[in-house]
């Protein structure tokens, strides 16, 4: 679809509809957002910016709440580990 946004998640390009959050994009790509202190895989829990489980590295910035950030063309997203 022409109006899709393409970004890279852990180096791989993915396309999403406009208005998609980074957290939603990561879940759809089957990726985890972060690793916990003991190394467990984690993904979003609350979906509304409270739990901080969806922290990811967005454009080089660590610990971003990915459920509160919209995907943008060319964005570079990485698992926070």
Partner 1 sequence: MTSSNQAFNVLVIGGGPAGMAAAARAAESGAQVGIVNDNLALGGQIWRGGEHDEHVAEAIPWRERLQRAGVSMLCGMRVFHQPQAGVLLAEGNEEVSELRYQRLILATGARERFLPFPGWTLPNVMGAGGLQAMVKSGLLVRGKRVVVAGSGPLLMAVAAYLREQGAEIPLVCEQASWGRLAAFAATLSGFPAKIRQALTLRKKLPEVRFAANSWPVAALGDGKLESVTISRGGRLETVACDYLACGFHLVPNVELPLLLGCAMDGEFVQVDDFQRTTMPGVFCAGEPTGIGGVESALVEGQISGLAACGKEPEARELFGQRRKARRFARLLEKTFRLRPELRSLPQLETLVCRCEDVTYTRLRQHTSWRSAKLHTRCGMGPCQGRVCGPAVQFLLNWKPESVRPPVFPVRVESLAGIAETG
**Can you give the binding site for partner 1, defined by CB under 8 A?**
16-17, 19-21, 23-25, 27-28, 30, 32, 36-38, 40-53, 55, 63, 67-68, 70-71
Nearer to partner 1, 36 or 74 (CB): 36
Give the Cα separation of 27 and 33 in Å (integer).
8
Q: Rounded to whole angstroms, how far apart are CA atoms 74 and 1? A: 16
Instruction: Please name the residues in contact with 47: beta carbons below 8 A apart, sequence gap of 6 or more.
Output: 23, 67
Which lies closer to partner 1 via its Cβ, residue 10 or residue 52? 52
Beta carbon of residue 28, minimum distance to partner 1 (angstroms, whole number): 6
């Amino acid at each position: 679809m022409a109006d899709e946004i393409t970004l890279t998640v852990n180096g791989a390009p993915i396309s999403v509809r406009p208005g998609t959050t980074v957290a939603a994009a990561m879940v759809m790509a089957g990726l985890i957002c972060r690793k916990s202190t003991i190394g467990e895989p984690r993904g979003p829990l609350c979906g509304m910016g409270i739990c901080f489980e969806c922290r990811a590295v967005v454009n080089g910035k660590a610990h971003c709440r990915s459920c509160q950030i919209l995907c943008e063309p060319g964005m570079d997203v990485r698992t926070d580990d």
